[in-house]
Structure 1
Amino acid sequence: MTIYFYKAEAAYGCFSNFSLHGIYLQGQYWPTVEHYYQAQKFVGTPDVAMTAVIQLAPTPMKAAALGRDRDRCIRSDWEQVKYPIMCQAVLTKFLCHPEIQGVLLATGEVELVENSPTDYYWGCGADRTGQNQLGNILMGVRQEIRERLLLGCQP
């Protein structure tokens, strides 16, 4: 069995980076994982001021649009750091919100797939041949939380 997710307001919407589950990272509050992720593109660049603009964006959709602005200078190492940045943000989200941590753990061993019709890196793409990196991260986070619980640690 496979669980497909995409829209924050749909079934399993808490798996979406657009879900309204804020996180604290790097000593700051971010309204969603999407806000944090998009802002990290500008760390250490001439457009570093965009991090604050994105952090204050009224919606995750607006944060995504700001982060995808092709007229801005993103960090030169973005392709190397985007995956670990996403891992950290998603893990933080599920550690900080017990109600959605329970949803994630309740999926057991089921494959999780971001059913994005346009994203072939984070999602599966329109023809489901994409890399599904967000689904892979979620399955890894699910396993990490399980292991922490088995060790008697706070997740």
Structure 2
Amino acid sequence: MKFPDYSYSEEIRKATTPNKAKKLGNSKRHFIYEDWDERRIKVMYEGLKAKFNQNLDLQKSLLALRGRTLVEHTARDSFWGDGGDMAGVNMLGQLLMQVRDELINDKNQGIIFEES
């Protein structure tokens, strides 16, 4: 969680649209963990892992991109995305590729069981 105040985190989680959740999450009026810059990568990674482990359709879509470089192409974000010019960090793309590679490794080891 980005905020130590659980009730505010719940308010964000219960937002009726992604845009409303984003606006609440980006609000400067609430305290954010001092080490959020370090925490945010782990939080995103854990969220992506859960997302692709829980939704087999999304998992199959991600696995279909095996061997491809994944890029969050956006000029508005040079950390999660590429900054629009491929010079950004592209952390979201890196994490998606990490999750994909872990899923492939798990499949190769017989850890993931497909729905029949």
Q: TM-score, normalised by structure 2?
A: 0.92
- Within-5 A mapping of 1:8-19: none
- Within-5 A mapping of 1:35-46: 40-43=1-4
Deviation of the 1:128 alpha carbon: 2.3
Q: Which runs of 4+ in 1 moved over 2 A?
A: none
- Within-5 A mapping of 1:1-155: 40-43=1-4, 47-154=5-112
Q: Tell me how far apart the structure 2 counterparts of residues 84 and 118 of structure 1 sit (CA, whole Å).
A: 22
Unpaired segments of 5 or more residues in structure 2?
none
Deviation of the 1:75 alpha carbon: 0.9
Deviation of the 1:69 alpha carbon: 0.3
Q: What amino acid is aligned across from residue 52 of structure 1 in structure 2? A: E
Q: Tell me how far apart the structure 2 counterparts of residues 113 and 79 of structure 1 sit (CA, whole Å).
A: 20
**SS of alignment partner, residue 71 of structure 2:** strand
Q: Tell me how far apart the structure 1 counterparts of residues 99 and 106 of structure 2 sit (CA, whole Å).
A: 11
- The structure carrying a bigger strand percent of its residues is 1
Q: How many residues align?
A: 113
Q: Tell me how far apart the structure 1 counterparts of residues 83 and 98 of structure 2 sit (CA, whole Å).
A: 21
- The structure carrying a bigger helix percent of its residues is 2
Q: What amino acid is aligned across from residue 137 of structure 1 in structure 2? A: L
CA RMSD between the two structures: 1.2
**SS of alignment partner, residue 147 of structure 1:** helix
Q: What amino acid is aligned across from residue 42 of structure 1 in structure 2? A: F
Q: TM-score, normalised by structure 1?
A: 0.70
Larger Rg belongs to: 2
Deviation of the 1:152 alpha carbon: 0.6
Q: Tell me how far apart the structure 2 counterparts of residues 48 and 107 of structure 1 sit (CA, whole Å).
A: 36
Q: Tell me how far apart the structure 2 counterparts of residues 77 and 134 of structure 1 sit (CA, whole Å).
A: 19
